[in-house]
Amino acid sequence: MFKSELDISSKRFESDLSNFLTLKQSVDEEVVASVTKILKEVSSRGDSALIELTKKFDDHMLESFFLSQDEINASFKNVNKEVVTALEVAFENIIQFHSKCRDSLNLEPIDSEISRTFRPIRSALLYIPGGKASYPSSVLMAAGPAIACQVKDLFLTTPSIDGVVNDLTIAAAKIAGIEKVAKLGGAQAVAAFSYGTESIPKVDKIVGPGNAYVAEAKRQLFGTVGIDSIAGPSEIIVLANETSSPEIVAWDLMAQAEHDQDASSILICNSNEVIEQIKQIIENELPKLERAKIIKSSFTNNGLIIKVESLEQSIEIINRFSPEHLHLAFDGNEIDPNDLIAGIVLLGSDSAVSFSDYVLGPSHILPTNGSSRYSSPLSVEDFIVSSTKVNMQIQNEKIKFNELIDNTSLIARAEGLTAHAIAVEKRKKH
């Protein structure tokens, strides 16, 4: 069922692992070309292009770009009250976590002459997928850090498939206090809020997960608009040993795979017995699940089992993947989690990924496809920008001031920038 099963003791292990990583990180040129065309259409024709593209991809004619307050209220009423309560509890945890993160930042001036000032960005778009499933949790996870930072203009967009917007998504938006909800999806939505159109405002930053077309649009538009990251399909590595519960591991792998057929579920284990038990549980339980077809496709397309001889061997492998989620599915300290690179590290058998996906507080919008090496989960830092302020008027030590001038002049003249040198030399105190 899994795409590949590798054994670290095999002579082909290195080449097989490299091939798997290469395929996982490859770029679909058809997606690139399609997105490039969409961006040009939206840039040149604005609203009319959005209407045509929505008809083409989502199979309905847009009569308005944003949901009315009545439509938002109607969606909210359609959602089970117990689900609403659960979402409210989750959002409370999310806001609490990100408010603490904001308060922990050192936002005080460094000194009187040179200081950094911080402010929230003015506007942001939360992109929320709406194709294969509903993602109210992503609404809350994207909105939490933005609201904690007091972003003034907060927009949400989500596809309206066949003219229908997902009730759960809209209910989550209402819980988060987001009133500006657009009925747009795909690369065209990203383009609209990046360029601005007759009806859609240009925003400072776009955050949130999406399919390959959304990710490619964010990649191409970075610079025109700020982005959080270029998200790929969801992924998990579960590290297990002979003490791990095969049942728990099997369900964690299936939970990840049910996102979509492009999701990647990877098991690393030092026990053949545990590996076989996990495979058997998956085989037995998978046919009973609503999204069995998607899970099976995910395993077939991107599933991987790696047999190691010791847990220590897994560290290098994990860090080569630098996965979105990493679950150490055993209780103990055999491995130092500080040695591991991942968007989120879940320690111990009870630390299910599902907790972090929904209710714990930290955002589940995480770096994917190896980008944990250089990027971080969505957080308050994504919605705060800084600038530096310099005030030399209060520099009252003449000797120190003139020394700054002399050193500046020497460096500027060394670079051949004479005007730079003269500009400070004219300020010398006598």
Q: Catalytic amino acids? A: 324-325
> How far is the C-alpha of 28 from the C-alpha of 56, rounded, in Å?
21
Give which of 23, 21, 2, 8 is closest to 250, Cα–Cα: 2
> How far is the C-alpha of 133 from the C-alpha of 293, rounded, in Å?
14
> How far is the C-alpha of 306 from the C-alpha of 377, rounded, in Å?
26
Could you count the other beta carbons within 10 Å of the beta carbon of residue 303?
24
CA 378 vs. chain centroid, Å, equals 6
- In sequence order, the 6+-apart residues with CB closer than 8 A to the CB of 325 are 234, 235, 236, 237, 256, 342, 343, 344, 346, 353, 356, 366
Alpha-helical (H) ranges within 78-205 are 81-104, 136-148, 167-176, 186-195
Contact criterion met (CB below 8 Å) for 170 and 181: yes
Angle at 275 between CA 271 and CA 278, to 5 degrees: 140
Angle at 48 between CA 44 and CA 54, to 5 degrees: 110
- List 125's β-bridge partners, or say none: 155, 206
Q: Among positive and negative, which fits the CA dihedral 241, 242, 244, 245? A: positive
> How far is the C-alpha of 173 from the C-alpha of 125, rounded, in Å?
12
Side by side, which strands form the sheet with 226-227? 180-182, 153-157, 123-127, 205-207, 226-227
Q: In 3-state terms, what secondary structure has residue 37? A: helix
What does the block give as tokens for 50? Answer: 């959005």
> In Å, how far are 7, 58, 164, 370 from 131, measured between CA atoms?
37, 9, 11, 25
State the first-to-last Cα distance of the chain, in angstroms, to the nearest integer. 82
